[in-house]
Structure 1
């Protein structure tokens, strides 16, 4: 019989043409919904993830808690600064009613004192405001650094299930545009809010001190102003939620298109993509327009209320001055205070503008941070026992495992499997048979719906994540490389490895020659996603990374699919050394890859329908023998 390894590569099953979507071992979702037929709507299809009640407030408190002292300092600075600002009209009133009449009598001391006092208030206000801005800016920047860090760390901690359902574009929107909205609120909006509130409190008290009758008349205007603010707050919250969602949709589309630029060009998708992006862009424009329109309505309404109130107060006050019931300086100070009270109304609208945008963003960030990993860290992790028999491999067992993806039907119905330590097992079968699901459960990217996966007698749920990742390593079809040097990408498997150990791993896997031929050898920057080297070379780097990690269990999920025949043979030769003593699971389509296994499992519908050595199965009359015969016939 001719050796499989000596023949050209051949798949165990027909491969779909390039660009054709293939099910990932799960039920196909309904287009546009992300859910299987008849399933409930997936909350991950919404831009706002579910979160506990008042999660936004709790998040804001936790962000500000470490800066409580500086926040109080900023508040005191602003309190004193507003006191200095609001002293001005009182000095004007004193000058009109007392200092100017004294000047007529040749006494200039009071007027000079008023002028110096006004100057001192102005200087004090500027100095205090500068100090406030410095303290507030430091607090806001520290809060934003903390928030971005939380988003990044939490996104990394979430399980694979989350990242397969929540797009990377949305995560980018949370960490960029949404954080930017909160920055605008912290750096500009809060100062406006506190300033307006303090001004209103100070001015209301001073108006009551100057003339309680006019002050009561002024307080009446607070009622329609309050309702104008409430209406604006409700309507603008809806508008800003829509705007934040529209921004995220634009980012998602842009990110998706740029990440898939090769198939975009290969299938001439530029024009349809441009039309789709244009629609999202117009939706963003409409959402922005709605927010601006709400702001315009609020400003017009609040100015109308303010102007009518001031006109009425001036008219009434003028009659009282004419009748001698009120001093002219008091009326002048009253009008100045009214202008200071109502002028910030526009600024209050701008704050509400920032507040609603930030509130919508904070709601989405709080929803993201409220998501718990579907694969949680054990409360009391158990250590793995020392390897038995002097070999690094571990015994693997699937005991009564059932599993179903959230977006589809059950993939593994009551699955049982035991793999002795050091055994290399190849898993074959048609697309959707459950092969990759088996690998993901073994790597604990998912937890079983029921049953358990056991490593040397310890359930994976009881293992600390760090111990599990050291013990079980997966090499996938997509050999992802990070920006950086070749050596850095190999050392991801073991960051403390020396350069000699990195090069030894590359030599063992057959990658040294091509790496040495690169412009800077192991120090060559592979650039974004490893685009500087070929797909086969990226796969070799991924193998070297796995070898350097020295795992007890190695999972190869179609990991040789990107290699040409010479490259695959080089890897297979190295794999005899790599897999010796280790437990290995090989998800394979190529017969040449299956040949190196000690055992072959044929899966169908989430069950093992054939189990034996490659020679035993080829000699039989089952499914694997049929696939092998079909492959041999194709060589004729």
Structure 2
């Protein structure tokens, strides 16, 4: 982080997930930690009743557990001597009391585990749903910079860290806290001098606990960042497996993953070293305390200053006193890991959509055909500090007109299409649909009116009919089949093993690229938009399929405004109007025939001539 950055830490790190941040300043660390606590609090608050019930159950369980050593002390000092004299009443009561406390403790334990288990699972369900819902709400700009592997890491490994805390850590914390407090009271009641001596031993334990908490929090922040990078690499490799195998990238991927694994191992080693140091210190103090109690207690018993039963109970309580401290260490371990995970989850949840639904949307006027699209003094850049992609321009596309955008890769064609679909908002000016600024149109209404078909349309696992119906959920089967027929997809669909009920498999892998594109066309046509954007939508089609689609397009686009981005001039020539884009500027504008026949020639005429020569 630059030392000249004067931005407030809380602003600099808003939305930051601390993925690979190993060395953050105190203010930033406090900010990350605070927002993770706020998130945890928001998850727990609606379920506070169940949490309090679990708390009451564990208190009752620990009270019954504490009764055991006291009953043993009474049995040794009073019950056994009375039984020797022929009176077994006290001893019988002690045995019965010990048995009752054990059975009651087991029953309360059962109830606690049921209540706390439901409590934890409800929190995890809520958190997973929040992450998934929020990720879907975020704008395309977010998903283009935040890889799917990181989102998967939030939903899997980071949520699993919280699961470990709720499943084991919470139980350990509550049991340990009440055991330590209850036993401390019992030690002071049984013998005040030795009780104070034991409590004095907590001073080094508290000091090392504070050290452990600070070090482990940083260590687990590093482990969460390391595992996230591993998941990102794994997802990227699996998604690109064809390219991996085609270009023999396996050795390179092995090397990358080995490096990431080594980083993860190092981060885990640091965390384990911190944990080992803490556990060693606690057990050392515990063993020294026990040795002192046995030595001093034995001397006092011999001198008649202490009863044997009291010493026995004292040692039993002492063993139970330090064992929960190990549980506290395990809780601290789970807690710091969960907080580090929540830092990243809260960073994702703190991200805001850059394209937001209007608070008071303006309805689009009713139309029977396509809608006019107007760009007024529009300028666009992808970020405030990035270069201008589209310099200021004006453009009007009348309702029902089919416009083709042509130009070199990177000229800005797809950016114009993204503005029409409102995947982005312009940096300046406005894009309007039927005279209404897109920023004032409700997202649901906008998606009904503007549909985009891209080169890489996504198909979900499920039937062909299900994927077509995505364009209009609730469409009838005849409507779905009619949409397929409109784009010429019905012929290949009916040739599939189960026709429209054929499962396309993950990402549509059972279909060819051209078939997937036709399904995407059918989906868009079923949606019945007033504006259709085709972004390289015919690039995956073979020549016969492309000709069939073009015939369908001529009739289907007749009543719609259409924006076509294509390198194939065979697709461009069906347009009413062609815009040649160069460097983000529209340098030619006219009908295909006019631009081809321009006396002085031009860019589109040159493209057309090159295309004709390629056909010869």
Fold shared, TM-score > 0.5 on shorter chain = yes
In structure 1, which of residues 599, 606, 629 is the aligned counterpart of residue 577 of structure 2?
599
Deviations 1:122-170 (A, max 9, x none): 0000000000000111111111111111111111111111111111111
- Aligned match of 1:398: 375
Q: 5+ unaligned residues in a row in structure 1: which ranges?
A: 1-39
1:102 aligns with 2:82: yes
Report if the CA contact (8 A) 1:402-1:450 is conserved.
yes
- Aligned match of 2:555: 577
| 1:428-439 matches, cutoff 5 A | 428-439=406-417
Report if the CA contact (8 A) 1:558-1:586 is conserved.
yes
Question: Counterparts of 1:446 and 1:543 in 2: how far apart (Å)?
Answer: 23
- Aligned match of 1:71: 51
Report if the CA contact (8 A) 2:180-2:324 is conserved.
no
- Aligned match of 1:536: 514
In structure 2, which of residues 11, 14, 19 is the aligned counterpart of residue 47 of structure 1?
19
Question: Counterparts of 1:631 and 1:514 in 2: how far apart (Å)?
Answer: 29
In structure 2, which of residues 442, 448, 453 is the aligned counterpart of residue 464 of structure 1?
442
Change (3 A) 1:604 1:55: same
- Aligned match of 1:21: none
| 1:443-592 matches, cutoff 5 A | 443-592=421-570
| 1:16-55 matches, cutoff 5 A | 47=19, 54-55=34-35
Report if the CA contact (8 A) 2:17-2:348 is conserved.
no
CA-CA distance at 1:487 after TM superposition: 0.4
Report if the CA contact (8 A) 1:48-1:363 is conserved.
no
Report if the CA contact (8 A) 1:48-1:367 is conserved.
no
1:414 aligns with 2:392: yes
- Aligned match of 1:32: none
1:440 aligns with 2:412: no
CA-CA distance at 1:348 after TM superposition: 2.0
- Aligned match of 2:163: 183
- Aligned match of 1:349: 329
Q: Larger deviation: 123-132 or 320-329? A: 320-329
Secondary structure of 1:77's aligned partner? helix
- Aligned match of 1:160: 140
Question: Counterparts of 2:253 and 2:415 in 1: how far apart (Å)?
Answer: 33
CA-CA distance at 1:323 after TM superposition: 3.0
Secondary structure of 1:47's aligned partner? coil
Deviations 1:176-215 (A, max 9, x none): 1111111111011100001000011111111221122222
Over 4 Å off, 4+ runs: 40-46, 48-53
CA-CA distance at 1:593 after TM superposition: 0.9
Secondary structure of 1:579's aligned partner? helix
Secondary structure of 1:425's aligned partner? strand
CA-CA distance at 1:256 after TM superposition: 0.6
In structure 1, which of residues 241, 248, 251 is the aligned counterpart of residue 221 of structure 2?
241
Report if the CA contact (8 A) 1:189-1:355 is conserved.
yes
CA-CA distance at 1:451 after TM superposition: 1.2
CA-CA distance at 1:278 after TM superposition: 1.9
Number of residue-to-residue matches in the alignment: 594
Q: 5+ unaligned residues in a row in structure 2: which ranges?
A: 1-11, 22-27
Secondary structure of 2:559's aligned partner? coil
Q: Larger deviation: 137-146 or 119-128? A: 137-146
Q: Larger deviation: 173-182 or 60-69? A: 60-69
Report if the CA contact (8 A) 1:82-1:199 is conserved.
yes
Question: Counterparts of 2:85 and 2:154 in 1: how far apart (Å)?
Answer: 69
Deviations 1:580-615 (A, max 9, x none): 121111111111111111111111111111111111
Question: Counterparts of 1:619 and 1:181 in 2: how far apart (Å)?
Answer: 67
Question: Counterparts of 2:65 and 2:488 in 1: how far apart (Å)?
Answer: 76
Question: Counterparts of 1:316 and 1:454 in 2: how far apart (Å)?
Answer: 88
Secondary structure of 2:389's aligned partner? strand
Secondary structure of 1:125's aligned partner? helix
Q: TM-score, with normalisation over the residues of structure 1?
A: 0.91
| 1:272-283 matches, cutoff 5 A | 272-283=252-263
Secondary structure of 2:558's aligned partner? coil
Question: Counterparts of 1:209 and 1:45 in 2: how far apart (Å)?
Answer: 49
1:332 aligns with 2:312: yes
Question: Counterparts of 2:511 and 2:205 in 1: how far apart (Å)?
Answer: 65
CA-CA distance at 1:42 after TM superposition: 12
Deviations 1:40-79 (A, max 9, x none): 9998796279977722122212212222211111111111
In structure 2, which of residues 66, 73, 96 is the aligned counterpart of residue 93 of structure 1?
73
1:119 aligns with 2:91: no
Question: Counterparts of 2:221 and 2:14 in 1: how far apart (Å)?
Answer: 19
Deviations 1:425-478 (A, max 9, x none): 111111111110111111111111121111112111111111111110000010
In structure 1, which of residues 281, 284, 301 is the aligned counterpart of residue 264 of structure 2?
284
Deviations 1:371-424 (A, max 9, x none): 11111111111111111xxx3211111111111113842101112111111111
Report if the CA contact (8 A) 2:17-2:343 is conserved.
no
Report if the CA contact (8 A) 2:412-2:583 is conserved.
yes
Does 1 or 2 have the higher relative contact order (CA < 8 Å, sep 6+)? 1
Deviations 1:486-526 (A, max 9, x none): 00000000011000000000001000000000000000000
In structure 2, which of residues 339, 343, 347 is the aligned counterpart of residue 359 of structure 1?
339
Question: Counterparts of 1:306 and 1:229 in 2: how far apart (Å)?
Answer: 14
CA-CA distance at 1:95 after TM superposition: 1.5
Question: Counterparts of 1:441 and 1:500 in 2: how far apart (Å)?
Answer: 34
